[in-house]
Chain A
Amino acid sequence: MTPLVNIINLDAGKLCVPTSDIIRYSGCKQTKDEKLCALCDEALTELKEAITPRAVFAEVPVKFTEDTADFGFGKYKSRSLRTFLGGDCTAYIFAATVGVGADRLIARYSPILPSRAVITDGCATAAIECFCDYICTEVFKTQAQARFSPGYGDLPLEMQKDILSLLNANLNIGLSMTDSYLLTPTKSVTAIVKSPCQS
């Protein structure tokens, strides 16, 4: 049976993106430099107007045979995933994106004002991370960072394709993948989260 998928649409204004994250993702060490912080705020305000955070998820049972996890929709050999999930369990599989608006804004600045492109890129990375944290804490009721993505550790990146297909991510949230496994729009994430209520 195909699992029921759920869609999340979040108002971008509700994302609380810390300036310190933007500074970090923009390739800077932490600083209280006023000019830089003001630039980050300005870029974030603009970015929030341009993005449309959307996510889709499903809850599936995971069974392990040694290091191979069977998700029902596919089997993947990964010791690090086994360590992360701690064995048989129920897990949330989700795909999230802030939409093509972020890519467009970065592309707009890239040839004209690369410094702004870098900061906008940092804002967008911070925004998708923040959105994922929101999904983990507010929707899945677990810890913010408690997620594991294809490509982490020894979990094959190929799993990403199956996740997108399981969640019908292209139709549901406009998320797809290139032949080289890049998610498009680029500010997107697919991940696995251990469900906090294990039956």
Chain B
Amino acid sequence: MNIKEKLKSSLVFFDGAMGTELQKRGLKTGELPERLNITHPEVIEEIHLSYLLAGCDVISTNTFGANPLKFSESELEEVISAAFDCAEKAIKKAGGKERYVALDMGPLGRLLKPFGDLPFEEAVEAFSKVVKLAKDKADLILIETMNDAYETKAAVLAAKENSDLPIFVTNVYDEKEKLMTGADALSMIALLEGLSVDALGMNCSLGPHKMNEILETFSKYSSTPLMISPNAGLPRSEAGQVVYDVSAEEFAKEMVRSAQLGARIIGGCCGTSPEYIKAVVSALESTKPVEITKKNHCLVSSYTHAVEFADTPVIIGERINPTGKKKVKEALREGDMAFILREGVSQVQKGAQILDVNCGLPEIDEAKVMKQVIEALQSVTDAPLQIDTSDPIALENALRAYNGKPMINSVNGKKESMEAVFPLAKKYGGVVVALTLDEKGIPETAEGRVEIAKRIIKTAESFGIDKKNIVVDTLTMAISADENAARVTLDAIKAITDMGVRTVLGVSNVSFGLPHRDFVNSEFFALALRCGLSSAIMNPHSELMVNVCRKDFAGFGVNPVSAEELSAFAPQIIKEAMALNEDASAPVINTGSLTLKDAVISGLTEESITLTKTLLEDTAPLDIINNHIVPALNTVGAGFESGKIYLPQLLMSAESAKACADVVKEKLSALGESSDKKEKIIVATVKGDIHDIGKNIVKILLQNYGYKVIDLGKDVKEETILETAQKEDVTLVALSALMTTTVPSMEKTIKLLREKCPQAKVAVGGAVLSQEYADMIGADYYAKDAMGAVRVAEKHFSK
């Protein structure tokens, strides 16, 4: 019987700690205890045997830290092969019931990008090497002691892509019930069930009692078998020895409770010994496991938390989409990530719980840009993302890179669409938005749309995707074109809701062609929520819409909608919208006697914007920049240089100036003009350095002074800088480094530029640099701070 079969009908017992046992035998675990597989195989074998004799079903190989980041390729092969030899010999000796060997994989020991330096795909590659070496010998793969969601995902993908073995995953939770990098249990359940692992749960760090508390959350939400391997309580030192405060008997008692709470796979971590496992096995041997019930929670997640489609409507921010948005289009085309990130963060601030991400522009490489945008967004916001694309390659790139269980927007009733989207959704996990249209178009009746939804759900199930992971969009159409449109959409929402399936609508289409769209949208939205709508793709900056969600809404189905009310909605709302007066627009900010220059100097952004708008009524746009904003910047810049103004104040002014410049630019672009200088500057933090705060400061100041800044980000390879300098014909490259250890890569970049792109001059800056250091590595300019960088640019371009 394979392990998955066994799991269906009985509890499965794992072994206990390996490290603790090695220490007991006086072996120095040191840095790489996996070497003992080769140097002391008899000891490893004996430890396995002691656990087998204690009654466990599964032993884990001594390969926790066996990975290519710690071992050379040849030694890795040897270590893993020896580990399985030890396990197999022990099983042979033990005899008795059927036993299994788990390939044990622990963390790689490095933090992944963006906050560490290990790229996600390199992590997948590292785990893949281990899986390939072990897949023919193992009965299952145990991914354990993982303290980061992204690394867990990398390990699971490696296991899935290189073997057909069952995958068990356990993470380490702290007292606050979170992983070290912030993920809570619910988000891990969402991620791991999305990746279709065979068992999930927790190990290490906590004792059995606290772990059982967290187990309750797992039992409530997981439809996957649960695994638990606690420590033997907390360690303390006694006469130079490490002892743990939970005895074998107490441990077994708690494990009985774990089994009652739904744990199906039970083992031990630090501090547990064969004695503990024996106590657990004898206490639970004849116990029938608690039945695993299928849960119906619809969850999407990020690397910190999950969002559930449940009792309150979910707001999905729609703003990162080039369709009809000139600025987003420009930003995507020019790779202006900062603009996209601002759109993302500001939507979350306004109440968006999920962000839709659409990068579909014919002139850009969507597959590449989508991945970049997803990676950039998840480095600044922990809101789950909705990947919005019709390009399967862009979808797969984004699904791989995404750190969590995303939403996928979208699939439709066309065979081609379902065959492209569902295999990816099954592999990577995700909640899929299903549009009720097919080869024949959009049905005009609610019944027609419901039929398509049913077909999509059925097809999804044939791909192994549960209907809880489908959210149906019954398609909002403009009521100005067809007064019956709203009714069809909402009738379909009601029917789908009655089927126990979640729904979503892109609400704002309803008001197309009407005045007071916000008002019409919000009235329609309120009605849709009463029909059971679970979520809306909408503009979170619309206060009216957010209020429908947050204030006026008291729960689904509380106030059901009658057929008459539905029919009356469109004619009524059109009439009301037509009759509405032009209301006052944005709230007025009283600027009193404040001048624009003073507002910018004081860093009062709102006031600066208002004053700029007022000035634009009777002043030429370029005059505002030259006569108001630039003098303000000069005053602040001089103040900073003389030490009267500090960095945060300088930046607040810079932010205000930038906001004003954006207003002016908008006006100029409406007039078909531009205020930007033609001079381009590349800014980048060099390879090996992951600090970018200084670089970002330089960037905003250079932009203030009208330079076109090409921001390559942090940890940038020499070649990337060279290629960009050549392609963009750039003559000034500004490099930043914070640590002495990364200055050599600055030097390398300079050398490479000298050799291959001699017209590019290099300015350097950063905490560790000085004029002397800059001269030593051959830089053309040294900037001691952000204003220094502006002065360098002025000097460079005045030549």
Q: List residues of chain A with CB under 8 Å of any chain B CB.
A: 1-2, 4, 9, 26-29, 31, 36, 39, 52, 54, 99-101, 103-104, 106-108, 110-115, 117-119, 121, 157, 165, 170-171, 173-174, 176-182, 184-186
Contacts and interface: CB of A to CB of B under 8 A. Distances in A.
Given A26-B646, A180-B739, A184-B117, A111 B110 contact: no
A26 B691 CA distance: 15
Contact of A28 (B30, B175, B646, B690): B646
A180 B178 CA distance: 29
Nearest to B107: A170
Q: Is the interface of B mostly helix, strand, loop or mixed?
A: loop
B639 to A, nearest CB: 12
B739 A182 contact: yes
Contact of A100 (B115, B237, B342): B115
B345 A112 contact: yes
B692 interface: yes
Contacts of A176: 109-111, 116
Nearest to A173: B180
B651 A114 contact: yes
A2 B23 contact: yes
A4 B244 CA distance: 12
B180 A2 contact: no
Contacts of B23: 2
Given A1-B28, A114-B700, A174-B181, A107 B380 contact: yes
14 contacts: A4-B237, A29-B643, A114-B696, A115-B648, A115-B651, A118-B697, A170-B107, A170-B110, A171-B204, A176-B116, A178-B690, A180-B742, A182-B739, A184-B690
Nearest to A111: B338
Given A111-B338, A185-B111, A26 B380 contact: no
A106 B696 CA distance: 11
B242 interface: yes
Contacts of A115: 603, 648-649, 651-652, 654-655
B256 interface: no
B382 interface: yes
Contact of B111 (A1, A118, A180, A184): A184
A115 to B, nearest CB: 4
Interface in B1-44: 23, 28-31
Contact of A182 (B346, B648, B741): B741
B793 to A, nearest CB: 18
A71 to B, nearest CB: 14
B631 interface: no
Given A4-B235, A185-B111, 17 more contacts: A27-B647, A99-B182, A100-B182, A107-B380, A112-B341, A115-B603, A157-B741, A171-B172, A179-B117, A179-B688, A181-B741, A182-B690, A182-B691, A184-B110, A184-B115, A184-B690, A185-B115
A178 B688 contact: yes
Contacts of A29: 643, 646
Contacts of B643: 29
Nearest to B644: A29
Given A108-B381, A115-B655, A182-B741, A121 B693 contact: yes
Contacts of A179: 117, 688
B379 interface: yes
Contacts of A174: 111, 147-148, 180-181
A170 B107 CA distance: 9
Q: With a 10 A CB-CB cut-off, give which of B23, B651, B692 has the most chain A CB atoms.
A: B651
Given A180-B741, A184-B111, A171 B697 contact: no
